[in-house]
Structure 1
Amino acid sequence: MTILLYTLKAIAFALTNPYYIIILTILGILLYRKNKRTTVMQKMIIGSPINSSLELTISQIVMGIFAGALASIIMSYCGIVFDENSPIDLIFLLSIVLMFFNPKFICFSYSASLLGAISLILTYASYLTQNQDLNFINLDIVSVMSMVAVLHFVEGILVFIDGNTGYIPVFTNKDGRIIGGFALQRYWIIPIAILFMLHNVDPNTLNSASHTPMPNWWPILKGSISTDVLKNAIISLIPFYGVLGYNSVTFTRNKKQKAHMSGGITLLYSLILFGLARLAAFNIFFKILVIVFAPAAHEAMIILQRYLEVKGKPKYISSEDGIMVLEVAPNSPANEMGIKTGDLLIEVNNMKIEDENKVFEAIRETSSFVWFKVKRVTGKIEDLTYNKMNPQKRLGIVFVPRSIPRDSTVIKVGESKFDTILEKIKNKKDGDDDR
């Protein structure tokens, strides 16, 4: 209970200290800008944003705080400790810098492995040259990769729970046919309280929120620092801020299924990485192995999910029977009627739907009443009606077209980045406005 209490105090310190509040504010602004772009895309494609930019940002911060607390508690109980001279803070900074080159590099697997590899090279160089000044990084590989594994564990939970939030509908071409899907992007700000072993420090000068007296049974796991040394050392919890991120595109699953699959794979990856990190305490071979495994296996996860998408059966594709519904705008006539993602629209006002233009024609010709025959995902046929329609009101459906009309704003998406997708949409939108 003592460890839990002091870990939560350290997290609370990160949320209330002016210095850390500035960091949180800067990261929050960066996420808000990304979320703003997402809501712009949603409004362009769906007709209205699913959530506001502020809602998306606040939820990312709140969920990140809980995830950071969980990760900190796990690391504290396990005994993942760093020396006070450890450059562990560089990993958090490096991950944020790398994010600007490619969103996937925000993952700590890349920054920790890069810094760990540099540390091993410098350590070996200092041994060969007998120059200890070269060994200025001296990263604790066991503790660092254990920390990365724990962070991936909480990332897997976040993706599983919240990965399907903040999406945009996208389209691509497969075997000459248009298929619909979703681009998913989500980031979480996490405050992490990390245990540090301090030297030559007066305990009375330590902040009460971070000074951590450890019980006799601690730590649960043995690390690279001997238990005897830890028992006699001053241990302090020092908070840092990091960002966890998730990017993916799916055409074979719905949003929730994709998030659950990605979250599950990430959880499995974290457990294997944690096991290898503990083995790294034995010799240099396992240290090299875990440094290589972390980014390589992370890339393998990306390749695996891409392979499953390429080989999988498209979930959202129109057929001769009707037009597929990819997404429904909230608070729209379609939503009030009960039309859902994955429904197949067969008839509108007793007319067979050959393409999406038939739907628009029926709405323009109607006075107020619209009637749809819909085939649900389960195969059940239902009749849905709406009696408050007018030509000025948008139906609120994103269709999966059988073919791309010449003047359509449909954007072809493969493995494009989120920002690239936005630029395509904006360029297309500007072109439409000029006509």
Structure 2
Amino acid sequence: MAVLLLTESILMLRTTAAHTYPERLKGTRGMWIGQHRSRRMTVVPFLALFPGGMIEPFAAWWPMIPLGGETYGLILIPFVIGWEWKARGQSPVVAAKTMGRHVFLLSIIVLGLAVGSFFIGVLSLAAVMIGLIGREWIFVLHRMREEKTPFFSSAKKGIRILGVIPRSPADQMGLTPGEVIERVNAIPVRTENQFYEALQNSGAFTKMEVRDEWGENRYVQRAMYEDEHYELGLVFVEPATHEESVGFF
């Protein structure tokens, strides 16, 4: 259990915006808001000791390890772990790292109980129960944090980025979900249509004024090439006026 939790925490701590995908939906007031969803699954190989007497009848050649007067064989058990969560009230990277730190702390507690079970047998049951209940409680706390004001909502000034396609021009410019593009080539933009119209004035070079999630302004720029997509690989919270669906990629 401790190994599984530790593996899960490492995967969460290494989560980036590229590991989640954006979704656009209508809020309670009819305004467009966004969220990021993460779905991951992995197989964790786990080596366990198995009593030799249960192995020898069907595999006499199996290597045995003498331990405490008994013989044991090593068995490789593949464990499948996975999760699904949504980030609506905060940045998906912040949400993943917060849960990752909590799961890591839980794995240390479970590991300590597992070690103690060598001396007090009942601690092995406590380790399993605390691991299962603790993991579920971490995700319950995450869902409670997501009930606050949506992180991906319309900005009063500029247009908020909901998603960035990996390896796209926008990704190479360092744009990240949650940031607000306020000017493109010195032209103020408030809608997706205005954004693409301003891009037409860039020629071979594009410069943007961006406000990050902490309210700090910065500038990004990049040369544009003829074969690159005009949308730059960006998905905004508010759809273009001609869109009628909630689809994305």
Q: TM-score, normalised by structure 2?
A: 0.76
Secondary structure at 2:153's aligned position in 1? coil
Letter in 2 for 1:281: G
- CA shift, 1:409, in A, is 4.1
2:199 aligned with 1:346 = no
Q: Distance in 1 between matches of 2:216 and 2:16?
A: 29
2:121 matched residue in structure 1: 281
Residues 129-168 of structure 1 mapped to structure 2, 5 A cutoff = 148-162=1-15, 166-168=19-21
- CA distances 1:125-163 after superposition (whole Å, capped 9, x unpaired): xxxxxxxxxxxxxxxxxxxxxxx2332233223332358
The answer to whether the 8 Å contact 1:163/1:186 transfers is no
Q: Distance in 2 between matches of 1:149 and 1:300?
A: 16
2:62 aligned with 1:207 = yes
Secondary structure at 2:23's aligned position in 1? strand
- CA shift, 1:182, in A, is 1.5
| Residue of structure 2 aligned with 1:319, choices 143, 155, 160 | 155
- CA shift, 1:272, in A, is 4.3
Aligned pairs, how many?
242
2:52 aligned with 1:198 = yes
Letter in 2 for 1:168: Y
Letter in 2 for 1:340: T
Residues 375-414 of structure 1 mapped to structure 2, 5 A cutoff = 375-388=211-224, 393-401=230-238, 405=241, 407-410=243-246
- CA shift, 1:305, in A, is 1.0
Identify unmatched segments of 5+ residues in structure 2: none
Secondary structure at 1:155's aligned position in 2? helix
Q: Distance in 2 between matches of 1:376 and 1:235?
A: 57
- CA distances 1:293-319 after superposition (whole Å, capped 9, x unpaired): 5544443222211001113x4333331
The answer to whether the 8 Å contact 1:363/1:389 transfers is no
- CA shift, 1:365, in A, is 6.5
- CA shift, 1:173, in A, is 4.1
2:145 matched residue in structure 1: 308
**Higher relative helix content:** 1
Q: Distance in 1 between matches of 2:215 and 2:92?
A: 20
Q: Which has the larger radius of gyration?
A: 1
Q: Distance in 1 between matches of 2:128 and 2:175?
A: 49
Q: Distance in 2 between matches of 1:376 and 1:159?
A: 23
Cα RMSD for the two superposed structures: 3.6
**Higher relative strand content:** 2
Letter in 1 for 2:41: Y
The answer to whether the 8 Å contact 2:21/2:37 transfers is yes
Letter in 2 for 1:161: R
The answer to whether the 8 Å contact 1:370/1:387 transfers is yes
- CA shift, 1:183, in A, is 0.8
Residues 30-429 of structure 1 mapped to structure 2, 5 A cutoff = 148-162=1-15, 166-174=19-27, 176=29, 177-199=31-53, 201=56, 205-208=60-63, 211-214=64-67, 231-273=68-110, 278=117, 281-282=121-122, 287=125, 295-311=132-148, 313-364=149-200, 368-388=204-224, 393-401=230-238, 405=241, 407-410=243-246
- CA shift, 1:206, in A, is 3.7
Q: Distance in 1 between matches of 2:100 and 2:113?
A: 20
Tell me: CA distance 1:405–1:301, structure 2 relative to 1, closer, same or farther (3 Å): farther
Q: What percentage of aligned pairs have identical amino acids?
A: 24
